[in-house]
Chains A and B, each alone.
Chain A
């Protein structure tokens, strides 16, 4: 593993941009992006219909 300080800085930059919902591309690794999942209604097994809240999730797309 690389230097601890360097890794912390890399993580800080990456996380900071992800919090701003920015897409981050790193060569050799992949692309980090934020996807917004809309609210949706879902029927449970017991018949109840539940509205699931929206969410902003981190999606990682690996590089070939």
Chain B
């Protein structure tokens, strides 16, 4: 539909109740006034219509009024952009999040090797590396002091151990094991030139020391023992033997012990887990049988109720009942078995998730045609009408239903507060399904529609 200048002037003449020629002159005067004001001021605002501006190319430019634009676009007003691929956005976000995560992992793995054995995880690496030489220099004196003190104490205790009876050997060994190992560690570290664990090794104790320290420890201990053996030839060799055994255990058989512990744990865990799984399966099995029995009992009740009246006039009712009665079985047979029904949530991922989803999707009333059994919130539909009149929208919906379409109607509140009654065709699981269905629509709707999610 097109309105040319003469027709416009005729309408204006009718509205102002003047002659058509006079109306044409009035219209031309308005046009001239707009052009002059635009030339003079650069823009001319006409209330209710918009703003005319002088473009860079010398031509007139027009920016419509927001109210007028909304009125013109009333059919699609209130529709906001929707995410077609939210999963991709989700996958993008984790990728952005994974990068720092990986960085933290990378940074977390490096200090684990360095910081955990030495207890300096809180300190940044930059502080450790440049200061290592200074620390080693500064710590050498205390090391020697510690060593001498520990050595003195160790000698005293060894003397006590030699003079003490055998009953007191165990506490002596326990107290002695710490300093001995620290002595060994210190000596070993001094020999190897590492100043790292000089301060921390005594604090952590022998059990928390890494395997590298443990491997390096037994040699000096054994050398001490060999050196002490001729001096303390008369003393019982229990103390060095036990200390040697303690050293050897963590150094040589720590990993074996851990493996044994793990094996023992696994030996206990596997049957316990198997028993639990079997118990769960039995529980769900019997629970499903109960559901079957309930449904069967309900079916029997219905079947018992049906044949009682059996009047000839109500054969149609019987047919209806016969149609209705098998549906529970059919639904249960087609849907997931009752065994799997109680655990669709957490166990559904490992179990029959995809199959269940397929059956559910097939059961849901998706599609372009057919009756509208229920409005699927979250499904996509093709909006072909957006009307302010509720009655008209209902009429349009009925018209579409008469054409065999699955028509959906709902009320949408626009940003300006008005309510728009939208009529959509079909219900689809995804936008792509809806886009495919658009091609099947007849022509007024095929080129003028909008796919939206039912909310």
Contact = CB atoms under 8 A, between A and B. Distances in A.
A49 B16 contact: no
Contacts of A29: 31, 34-35, 60
Interface of B: 1-5, 8, 11-12, 15-16, 26-35, 37, 46-50, 59-62, 64, 68-69, 71-76, 79-86, 88-89, 92, 431, 447-452
Interface string A34-64: 1010110110001111111111111010100
B49 A15 contact: yes
Contacts of B59: 62
Given A3-B26, A10-B30, A21-B72, 13 more contacts: A12-B15, A15-B49, A23-B2, A25-B4, A29-B60, A32-B62, A36-B448, A38-B447, A48-B83, A50-B84, A57-B72, A60-B62, A62-B62
Contacts of B27: 10, 26
Interface in A1-17: 1-3, 5-15, 17
Nearest to B47: A11
B72 A27 contact: no
Interface residues of A, number: 50
Contact of A41 (B26, B73, B84): B84
Nearest to B13: A9
Given A28-B31, A28-B32, A47-B89, A6 B69 contact: no
A29 B3 CA distance: 14
B72 A18 contact: yes
Contact of B3 (A23, A34, A57): A23
Given A2-B26, A11-B49, A28-B31, A56 B72 contact: yes
A14 B49 contact: yes
Contacts of A1: 30, 33, 37
B367 to A, nearest CB: 21
Given A13-B12, A36-B448, A58-B68, A51 B84 contact: yes
B451 A51 contact: yes
Nearest to A28: B31
Contact of B71 (A10, A19, A23, A42): A19
Contacts of A60: 60-62, 64
